[in-house]
Structure 1
Amino acid sequence: MLISVNDETWWRDKWTRQDLECGDCRPGSAAIYGSAVLYSTTLPLLVFHLRAATSTVAMSLNSTFAEPLAGYLAQAQNYLPPTPRLLVIGLLYTPIAFVVLNVLYQLLPSSGSKPQVVFHWIPWFGSAAAYGQDPVSFFKECREKYGNVFTFILLGKRVTVALGPQGNNFVLGGKHTVLAAEDVYGPLTTPVFGKDVVYDCPNELLMEQKKFVKYSLTMERFRSYVGMVEDEIVEYFRTDPQFRIYQMNDINEWGAFKPNKVLAEITILTASRTLQGKEVRDNMDKGFAELFHDLDNGFTPLHWMFQNLPLPSYRKRDAAHAKMSTFYEQILRNRRATGEDPDDVMSSLAKQHYRSGRALKDHEIAHIMIALLMAGQHTSSASGTWAILRLAANPDVAEQLYQEQVKLLATPDGRFRDMTYDDLRSLPILDAVIRETLRIHTPIHSIMRLAHSDIPVPQSLAAPSENSVYVVPKGDIVLASPGLSQMEPSVWKDADTWDPSRWYDQDGFAAHAQKTYDEDTKVDFGFGLVSKGTDSPYLPFGAGRHRCIGEQFAYLQIGVLISTFVRHLELRLEGEFPKPDYSSMMVSPFPCEVAYRRRKLE
């Protein structure tokens, strides 16, 4: 019978440190057995164990893979000449040999300074299946076996994970010259956003580009955005076929909509109306939506691992980027020709200069506009979808939200006055719903950096012994998972329960975590002062120099979205609450339906 992954403990217990007290005996080639023999004069036990392990693993794999093939090989001997016969046998047994060698390699003692590697059967492929199917469960299981710091193999890449609030601080608070984001994310984002922006430029230029974009993220702008977002949502209710019952002005019949689709479309419409300007929003026809869809399909784990494959999604991604870039550049040329200078972010970017004195080139402006449109789309869409699903599954909370708005916004004639930005800041239940949704449904499960040098791990985070430290080797991808910290039972009471009321207590743990996140040491990374925030167990928008600059806009966008849905619709969930879908770079729910009923007549 094949040894299971869980039998790794049996192997490690059998080969104790006393048996293998030889330092780093790991060979540099695949000839593991031969390397062991070289040590046989001083370490006979190692040879004995290697022989026993080789025999046991080979027998196990032989019974699993080879025995079912024996009949086929016997028949092949009757039809094939000797040379092809050997070739067939070699092709069948070579993968088994690689698996055996990979297992034996992992059983050899490694350097005590490197974090433990998660046991895996298949070389190169490593733990890709377990991580890809459910990264959160994978992290939890590995932490139980290896502690807060461990390494796993992901399609040939070494990924060292640092968990918990201290792990977040270690990864997200590191110097960018030591832990770089662009080396990890550049291959994914550059084909989508374009050259010379975001992760395809030096970090100091990225910080300046963030500063340029903040033109759209001022308090004055936010005050004007609230009405725009609400108008887009209401217009969507009035025109989209999924809201046919709403459009019939029927307050008794229930309809249904697909929240993943609806929230994705509403998010892009509201973001373009506010952050991109009227000219861009007016051109968002079906053709533009198709371009966006093709670009969006370039944001997948496949496109991150393999940057250029001869597949339709890659060709469509590149074609969509070229057309969208041309779209923005044409607007710039038209404005120069006509002298038109509207008050929007594109005109602002056209007037900006880097510290060197160089003005932004047209293609840089176009690519920043694409990045501005795409960057917050996934996170806001996913967060909005989870929020609507939670309210549909908890109608009592939805009713509390509705009554909160009635109290603040209702007029004597039974209608609602227009919401303002200040109103959003005066709705504590709404604020709690948003924060709790971001806590339990963080849209990004893994934040990665590339180690540019060997990095010692603080002993308080993890260590092989009291007198030594782990060292993350140069070239490793280093990973933090703030979402796991936000659902840590040892930190959060009833961590797996969606409970907005935990945020009501201004002296409670949740409020303290939020305060630490917002009021930590202020640092100017090049785009204005921002709270570093890496020490908090609550990091919904990242931390450090790569903390999301659109954080306040996201609160506005999601807040107006939830408020508008609750004012216009009663919601209820059809079926079981959906599980997270980890097949894309952002964690969204699996497709489902939400039932709705119009609240009142107009």
Structure 2
Amino acid sequence: MSSLLEFTAGLDWRSWLIIVGVVFVGIPLGGTILNVVSQLYSTGSHLLAPVWAMVSDPYDFFLECREKYGDVFTFVLLGRKVTVALGPKGNDFVLGGKISHLSAEEAYTSVTTPVFGKGVVYDVPNAQLMEQKRFIKFGLTTENFRTYVGLIVKEVESLLETHPALERTPQWGEFSAFKLMSELTIYTASRTLQGEEIRKAVDGSFADLYHDLDGGFKPINLFFGSLPLPMNRRRDRAQLKMSNFYVDIIKARRATGHAGSYDMLAALMDQSYKDGRTLGDRELAHIMIALLMAGQHTSSATSSWALLHSANRPDIWQAVYDEQVAYFGNGDGTFRDLEYEDLRNLPVLDSLIRETLRVHPPIHSILRHVKADLPVPPTLSSSGPLNASKASENAGYVVPKGYLVLASPAVSQADPRIWKEGRKWEPSRWSDPEGVAALALDMSEQGEKVDYGFGAVSKGTESPYQPFGAGRHRCIGEQFAYLQLGVIVATLARAIEMRIDKVPAHNYRTMITVPMSPDFIQFRRRR
């Protein structure tokens, strides 16, 4: 999934322990040890070179492999065979595969279950997960969204007035994009989806619990979730404490009632499975933790990239501001309030968000565990050789049971065979009704509708634009993410000017693709 895992692809267990020690435990003289490792593998290893390439840029690595092997190829990752399937057809092969053959649960449970908790998401059978996603939809209603807009605006305005990095002066100041957005998105998500009790706690001891729990959400735990590392011990302690914290809130709400609440917890407390079983307190708590952790990571990364690119393109940032003036200006330098329906009628803002998600999908690679031998469609495998098992000359290629398969939305969303200057951030491409972006969006949102158990959604697995995934595991919080990002960007555009000399490179060493440090944006208040 991320560069740390990719860096260690093909290494034996002794080298792996050295890497773990250097990176996570902080063994002294780590540089010397790494130098020894590199010398050990400087000759005779055909795996290290491509792995190092993935550390710096998996996009380039995948395209280089595609030139050599075609759209489908296999490499070794910590002793596991991983078959990569690129392009829209590859996305469909992996993300549109049958659950009898492909499992997201078996691919991800080792990293998600210790963080989210037992009995939810990838710790349950797929049918139960689909029901849990259906429950969540009840908290993502239009009525709730209308309420959330004002709450998010208040959080942004409060941050502008109180954050020490955003001191109100006529001079240019600076702030770290990712650090600031990480704070803001947890404030906005906790105030809306999580509820008032959680928002009040975010500034206190809850923040420490979140930090420790987040520390276990690391790529290494995809394969070794139970390693006795200090970060995992802190993760486990924090998970229990946070779970108990939510359970106490749930019990208090059950005792006093939750009428009039518009948060996710209120919606979930009224749900029950098809067999009649209601959600237990612990189960509810773990769903709420999953929503907090998963949503905050992706939103903080995407909002950071949106600000960084906007600061680098003053013309785009000015266009966002001008759009706010045109739609909401009162003529005296003030603005009327944003409303939910307004966000659907702001093409500049919408294009900025969509282009950011295209160039910077939060997760560059998506894994599935192969449960049964998986034939590769001829339309996919014919583009090049495949390093997987060949059943027979007539049967074609088969990915064997026990392998992992990998799709990369990051490749299809910037593929030079599909997109003009695919790696360039250019929001104007979304205003071309005849362009690739419009076609990709239509395939993603307006294509074949399928109900996997949580309501009909566009399958979208063959679209070259999949920032929120596709198929049965498409992100259920997609609409909330657009709402949150739109309100944050619009409110900031009303308040500040921004500039930056260069957009930072990607940091692929984390579960979510974030900007590399330093990521400071210069800003000043609008006059």
* Interval of TM-score (by shorter of Structure 1 and Structure 2): 0.7 to 0.9
Instruction: Name 1:88's counterpart in structure 2.
Output: none
Indicate if the aligned counterparts of 1:127 and 1:152 stay in contact, CA closer than 8 A: no
Counterpart among 499, 511, 514 of residue 588 in structure 1: 514
Going from structure 1 to structure 2, the CA distance change for 1:99 and 1:308 (only over 3 Å counts) comes to farther
1:422 matches 2:354: no
Instruction: Name 1:154's counterpart in structure 2.
Output: 77
Structure 2 CA distance, aligned partners of 1:228 and 1:488?
Answer: 38
- For residues 440-589 of structure 1, the aligned pairs below 5 Å read 440-463=359-382, 464=385, 469-573=396-500, 575-589=501-515
Indicate if the aligned counterparts of 2:413 and 2:465 stay in contact, CA closer than 8 A: yes
Going from structure 1 to structure 2, the CA distance change for 1:97 and 1:283 (only over 3 Å counts) comes to closer
TM-superposed deviation, 1:341 = 4.8
Deviations 1:449-468 (A, max 9, x none): 01111111111111449966
Indicate if the aligned counterparts of 1:127 and 1:154 stay in contact, CA closer than 8 A: no
Instruction: Name 1:112's counterpart in structure 2.
Output: none
Counterpart among 368, 385, 396 of residue 287 in structure 2: 368
Q: Secondary structure at the match of 2:207?
A: helix
Structure 2 CA distance, aligned partners of 1:412 and 1:385?
Answer: 30
Instruction: Name 1:131's counterpart in structure 2.
Output: 54
Structure 2 CA distance, aligned partners of 1:132 and 1:471?
Answer: 29
Q: Secondary structure at the match of 1:233?
A: helix
Instruction: Name 2:164's counterpart in structure 1.
Output: 241
TM-superposed deviation, 1:350 = 2.4
Indicate if the aligned counterparts of 2:193 and 2:265 stay in contact, CA closer than 8 A: no
Deviations 1:390-416 (A, max 9, x none): 000000110111111100000033210
Indicate if the aligned counterparts of 1:401 and 1:566 stay in contact, CA closer than 8 A: yes
Indicate if the aligned counterparts of 2:100 and 2:372 stay in contact, CA closer than 8 A: no
TM-superposed deviation, 1:99 = 7.9
1:297 matches 2:215: yes
Deviations 1:483-531 (A, max 9, x none): 1001011101121211111111223221111011101111110100100
- For residues 26-425 of structure 1, the aligned pairs below 5 Å read 119-120=46-47, 128-244=51-167, 246=168, 250-251=169-170, 253-339=171-257, 341=259, 343=261, 344-425=263-344
Which residue identity lines up with residue 487 of structure 1 in the other structure? A
TM-superposed deviation, 1:296 = 1.2
Deviations 1:81-103 (A, max 9, x none): xxxxxxxxxxx9xx979986xx7
TM-superposed deviation, 1:127 = 5.6
Indicate if the aligned counterparts of 2:50 and 2:61 stay in contact, CA closer than 8 A: no
Deviations 1:45-74 (A, max 9, x none): xxxxxxxxxxxxxxxxxxxxxxxxxxxxxx
Going from structure 1 to structure 2, the CA distance change for 1:471 and 1:566 (only over 3 Å counts) comes to same
Structure 2 CA distance, aligned partners of 1:271 and 1:373?
Answer: 7
Going from structure 1 to structure 2, the CA distance change for 1:96 and 1:409 (only over 3 Å counts) comes to closer
Indicate if the aligned counterparts of 2:88 and 2:462 stay in contact, CA closer than 8 A: yes
Indicate if the aligned counterparts of 1:192 and 1:317 stay in contact, CA closer than 8 A: yes
Indicate if the aligned counterparts of 2:360 and 2:410 stay in contact, CA closer than 8 A: yes
1:436 matches 2:359: no
Deviations 1:233-269 (A, max 9, x none): 110111111112x2xxx33x00000011000110111
Going from structure 1 to structure 2, the CA distance change for 1:340 and 1:470 (only over 3 Å counts) comes to closer
Deviations 1:397-437 (A, max 9, x none): 10111111100000033210111111111110111111111
Indicate if the aligned counterparts of 2:117 and 2:239 stay in contact, CA closer than 8 A: yes
Indicate if the aligned counterparts of 1:128 and 1:154 stay in contact, CA closer than 8 A: no
Deviations 1:320-364 (A, max 9, x none): 111110001011222334455552332332222111111111110
Q: Secondary structure at the match of 1:411?
A: coil
TM-superposed deviation, 1:583 = 0.8
Deviations 1:281-301 (A, max 9, x none): 122223111111111111111
Which residue identity lines up with residue 320 of structure 1 in the other structure? A
Q: Secondary structure at the match of 1:283?
A: helix
Going from structure 1 to structure 2, the CA distance change for 1:512 and 1:580 (only over 3 Å counts) comes to same
* Larger deviation, residues 463-472 vs 400-409: 463-472
Indicate if the aligned counterparts of 1:569 and 1:598 stay in contact, CA closer than 8 A: yes
TM-score by length of 2: 0.88
Going from structure 1 to structure 2, the CA distance change for 1:407 and 1:341 (only over 3 Å counts) comes to closer
Structure 2 CA distance, aligned partners of 1:328 and 1:341?
Answer: 18
Q: Secondary structure at the match of 1:448?
A: strand
Going from structure 1 to structure 2, the CA distance change for 1:200 and 1:99 (only over 3 Å counts) comes to farther
Going from structure 1 to structure 2, the CA distance change for 1:340 and 1:544 (only over 3 Å counts) comes to closer
Structure 2 CA distance, aligned partners of 1:576 and 1:132?
Answer: 21
TM-superposed deviation, 1:141 = 1.4
Structure 2 CA distance, aligned partners of 1:323 and 1:346?
Answer: 18
Going from structure 1 to structure 2, the CA distance change for 1:452 and 1:99 (only over 3 Å counts) comes to farther
Going from structure 1 to structure 2, the CA distance change for 1:552 and 1:336 (only over 3 Å counts) comes to closer
Structure 2 CA distance, aligned partners of 1:137 and 1:439?
Answer: 16
Instruction: Name 2:11's counterpart in structure 1.
Output: none
Indicate if the aligned counterparts of 1:432 and 1:503 stay in contact, CA closer than 8 A: yes
Q: Which runs of 5+ in 2 are unaligned?
A: 1-35, 387-392
TM-superposed deviation, 1:179 = 0.7
Structure 2 CA distance, aligned partners of 1:506 and 1:97?
Answer: 51
Going from structure 1 to structure 2, the CA distance change for 1:243 and 1:473 (only over 3 Å counts) comes to same
Q: Secondary structure at the match of 1:530?
A: strand
TM-superposed deviation, 1:576 = 2.9
Indicate if the aligned counterparts of 1:188 and 1:307 stay in contact, CA closer than 8 A: yes
Instruction: Name 2:17's counterpart in structure 1.
Output: none
Q: Which runs of 5+ in 1 are unaligned?
A: 1-91, 104-118
Going from structure 1 to structure 2, the CA distance change for 1:98 and 1:413 (only over 3 Å counts) comes to closer
TM-superposed deviation, 1:129 = 4.1
Q: Secondary structure at the match of 2:138?
A: helix
TM-superposed deviation, 1:128 = 4.6
TM-superposed deviation, 1:579 = 0.3
* Larger deviation, residues 389-398 vs 457-466: 457-466
Structure 2 CA distance, aligned partners of 1:508 and 1:348?
Answer: 40
Q: Secondary structure at the match of 1:571?
A: strand
Structure 2 CA distance, aligned partners of 1:461 and 1:509?
Answer: 21
TM-score by length of 1: 0.77
Going from structure 1 to structure 2, the CA distance change for 1:234 and 1:472 (only over 3 Å counts) comes to same
Instruction: Name 1:75's counterpart in structure 2.
Output: none
Which residue identity lines up with residue 151 of structure 2 in the other structure? M
Structure 2 CA distance, aligned partners of 1:96 and 1:510?
Answer: 47
Q: Secondary structure at the match of 2:378?
A: coil
TM-superposed deviation, 1:130 = 3.8
